[in-house]
Every structure is written in structure tokens, then in C-alpha cells.
Amino acid sequence: MPELDGVRIGIVGLGYVGLPLAVEFGRRHRTVGFDIKPARIRELRSGRDSTLETEPAELKAAKKLVFTDRIEKLRECTVFIVTVPTPVDEFKRPDLTPLEKASASVGTVLKKGDIVVYESTVYPGATEEVCVPILERVSGLRFNRDFFAGYSPERINPGDKEHRLVTIRKITSGSTPAAAATVDALYAGIIKAGTHRATSIRVAEAAKVIENTQRDVNIALINELAMLFERMGIDTQEVLEAAGTKWNFLGFRPGLVGGHCIGVDPYYLTHKAQQIGFHPEMILAGRRTNDMMGAYVVSRIVKAMLRKKIAVQGARVLLLGLTFKENCPDIRNTRVVDIVHELRGFGARVDVFDPWADAAEVQHEYGFRTIAAPRAGAYDAVVIAVAHRQFRDMGARGIRRLGKRRSVLFDIKYVLRKGQADGRL
């Protein structure tokens, strides 16, 4: 087991991934949590986490953890762990800008013998082809002689209080056998579920990116089946429940595919595939299917309204939920915004209510604000877009009260039982 007594850890990026990691390491090792946003540092120093991934008591328990927005404060660290976002741009191409900037920042404080570990989701080869050259250029050090690298993909599931950082098995890897052993030992010290040491950084990168690509393709299949069954007059949920009685049937459900992982990661893999001359037909087909689900959902809502002789032009529509998943404040890459834009394209007036989302963040990210509370009896259509527990608690009767006497209730997330809504996927 490598010697870890003197290790000092620097976490670069304190979002949904970085903060839980910093807290766990901060219980055992001297740890510096770095983020470029001063407001985030002030918040964490006050003992509050707006992502709700870490409780105040957990922050307090990390006695060896300090927070800073000054990169110089990481100069004494010996292990750097980079946990910045890896989004796609408007053309669905990987945007490595945050990763490149983080690598450049780390390069300014990198010393001989240090290890830089990346957790951000990338395509196979990105760590050694993109990040390492930046570290070398900025630091003036030589890779695998003066400093080393590792890759340990994040597996955070925002809002999930059961599957936490320490209860999910961790993949680790390193650029040399010694570095791999050190990285693995470091994570093994905090991950109760254990670790899996991959044979190379590229293997670890590939393992991460296919986890969510597999889910994306499977959800796309179910979404396509939902479209088919709707045309056939068959209830998709009933079909899935029946098929689910077989032990090896996978329990996927139709719906919008957003968030920071499933709706993004496949584009990293397809980008690399096309670079080397391989066209990934199934992966891209799945992405196309899932990307058009917002338009499909709106077509179903509009048809339901027209069946009740409700004019869509000028209609008031309420969307319940905006975050990319239930019971968490994460609005990254939420596909509910597709429904907002599609409905407004039909001339509808759309209100969005989400008790979990931060209104200012929504305004900054998507250009509109959520409402503080919906008004009862005001809407021509009410759409359950996210299965927050607050909406489940309202039940069909409570949600119906938000609509006019003649209105449409459409359930995207199977919050209500069959027959309680006017339509569902």
C-alpha cells in the first residue's frame, strides 16, 4: 500500500461532484477545495451547500477541509483532483474549455512528484491527449518523469440519498503502475464500496462514457416504443409492467433525457469515434430519438387540448417541474426547456413552477423565470414534467385544481395512475 500520510489534496471544482469528494477527503487528509466562483466559496464557508448534495453536518465534520477561490492556495497540494463540467456546445460537440482552463490553472502550481487525477467525463484518450500537454506546457515539467496523471470517473447521481459517493464502487487508474497504485489507495481510503483498478487511463475513460451511453440507447428504445404503442392505442406503462415480470427485462421508462450525463456523454464518445473514421449508428440514432422527445410530448399535449376544443394559441399552460430529475435542484441540460419553447412556438403562454429550482439560475441559464406559485383554476393545460415529491403529494385532485373547469392534465412522469390524467407517455 503506497504511503499516504503526507498527502495533501486539492479539489478543483466544487459542484455536485467535487464538493462531496472534498468533504470525504477532508475528514482524513489536509484538503483544499478550490472553485472559481467567490459566491460558491462564501456559501460553503458559511456551512451551506445550494446543490443539497452535502448536509451542513457533513461540511462541519470535514475538519481538514478549507475552501478558496485562489489557485495559489493549492501550491502545497501533492494530489490534484479535477472535477469540472464537460458539456457540449450548440452543435453537440464536446466543449473541453472548462477542462483546459482547469488544467492550465493546476499547471501553475504543479510540482515534481505530484499527481493530477481527472474525474470529468471525457472521451477515451482526452486526459493524455488534451490535459497532459497543457500541464506540461504551463508547468515546464515532463509527464511520467516529473509528474503523473490518473483518471477516476465520477459516478455521482444528483439527488440520490441512497447511492452516495462512498457507496458506489470507484474506478481508478494511473499513468504508471506506481501512480495507479497511489490513486487506487487514495480512493480506497474513502470509498466503502471498494475500488476497481483499470489497466489504463483510456480504459477508465471508456468505461465511464459507455455507462451513460448504454442507458441513453435503452431509453431511446423505450421512447420509440412509446411512440409506436400510442399509435396502436396501447398503454406503454401497462406493456412495460407486463414485460417486467420476466427476470431479465430491463426496467427503463420513456421520458425526457437531460442532465449532465446521459444527454451529454454519448456525444463525447461519438466525437472520438468519428475522429478515427468510425460512424456509431446506434448511438447517434438513440441521441436523435431522445433529443426530439420534447417536440413529441408537445404534439401529444396539443392533440389532447384540441380534443377538448381548447385553442392552443393564447392558452395558458403550466409546467410542473423544470429540473432534469426529481427532488434535486440541478437544472443542467434539462430537456423540459424544449417543451417550454415548443409550446411557446404554438402561441401558448407558459408558466413553469418548480419548488426545487433557483429562479435566478433559471433566468441566467435559460432566459426565463419560474413562478413563485401557480394560481388555482388559471390554466388550460397542466403538464407534470418532473416527478417531485411535492407534486406526488398533491395527487390528481390537487393538480386538477390548478386547471380550469375544462382543461388538460398531461403526465409525462407517471406520477398519477392510469385514467387520472388526460394523457401520458
- The conformational region for residue 233 under phi > 0 = left, psi -120 to 50 = alpha, else beta, is left
Of the residues 77, 131, 261, 328, only one is catalytic, namely 261
User: What is the rounded CA–CA span in Å between residue 366 and residue 44?
Assistant: 25
- For cell 466559496, the residue is 41
* Cell numbers that stand for 38 in this block: 467567490
| Residue 10: strand, helix, or coil | strand
Which of 359, 376, 398 shows the shortest CA–CA distance to 50?
359
Neighbours of 229 (CB within 10 A): 18
What DSSP state is assigned to residue 65? E
Q: Is 261 a catalytic residue?
A: yes
- CA atoms in the 13 A half-sphere facing the CB of 387: 10
Distance of CA 371 to the CA centre of its chain: 24
User: What is the rounded CA–CA span in Å between residue 266 and residue 218?
Assistant: 12
353 in Cβ contact with 370 (< 8 Å): yes
CA angle (408, 412, 416) in 5-degree steps:
75
Active-site positions read: 261
